[in-house]
Amino acid sequence: MAGAALASGTNRIFAAGSDELRIGLIGCGGRGTSAASQALTCTKRGVKLWAVGNVSGDQPCEQHVHNLDIINWALGAHPVQCMSMGGREVRTGPEHGNIFDHFAVEYEYPNGVRVTSMCRQMAGCTERVSERVVGTKGATYTDQSVGFIEGQNAYKYDGPAPDPYVQEHADLIKSIREGRPVNEGKQVAESTLTAII
């Protein structure tokens, strides 16, 4: 089989050659994410948290990277700079470590193109996850697998709308079985760098 298939995971649980399970979480989205919270609060005998490295960039890298990936693709470019702010409104207890619960970022792409990116993890807020691109001749809107274009070249997709999370895995498995493994490593790295910037 030619090529390589790439799937990513950021948490590593490993044994240390003894009956003690040593857990190291590096780049796991911060101390308040589920993997880190479970490790920090584990009371089972023989389990010890050895290291937590908050090197992931928090929510933008864990959650919002998917939306940034779409914007990079739509613009055919990567940002040259950004300005960001965030904070903690609801995740303030020690069990949440030092992660933020909301961010707002203004990215600047080549030719002065501006992108406003916002994300949050708070109960009682809208559940919207979408992208909207506005230009001089129209605008686009995408939300999961639903999308439309307004303006001079209006378009609305009316075909099937499979769950994009299921479709991603189906496409990966199909590519491996057909001997043409998909490898989105470069695209994932570039989108992750957009989130980290």
Return the bridge partners of 53, or none.
Answer: 26
Query: Do 40 and 77 fall within a single domain?
Result: no
Sheet with 81-87: strands ordered across: 81-87, 102-108, 114-120
pLDDT at 194 over 70: yes
Which runs of E-coded beta strand occur in the chain? 11-15, 21-26, 47-53, 81-87, 102-108, 114-120, 131-135, 138-143, 146-151, 155-156
In the prediction, which pLDDT does 19 show?
Answer: 47
Predicted TM-score (pTM) of this structure: 0.68
| Whole-angstrom distance, CA of residue 49 vs CA of residue 43 | 11
Q: At what angle do helices 185-196 and 65-75 cross, to 10 degrees?
A: 110
- Is there a single domain that holds both residue 21 and residue 114? no
Within a domain: 3: no
Into how many domains does the chain fold?
A: 2
Q: Are residues 45 and 65 in the same domain?
A: no
Q: Do residues 120 and 40 share a domain?
A: no
Q: Confirm if 33 and 57 have CB atoms less than 8 A apart.
A: no
Q: Which amino acid is at 48?
A: K
Do 77 and 124 share a domain, yes or no? Answer: yes
Domain that holds residue 41: 11-53
Q: Is 103 inside any structural domain? A: yes
Which residues does 129 contact at the CB level (< 8 Å), separation at least 6? 67, 143, 144
pLDDT tens figures, 15-68: 334 444 444 444 444 444 455 555 556 666 555 554 444 545 677 777 788 889
Instruction: Name the more confident of 74 and 26.
Output: 74
Among candidates 164, 132, 166, which has minimal Cα distance to 151? 132
Q: Are residues 80 and 16 in the same domain?
A: no
18 shares its domain with 35: yes
Same domain? 40 vs 63: no
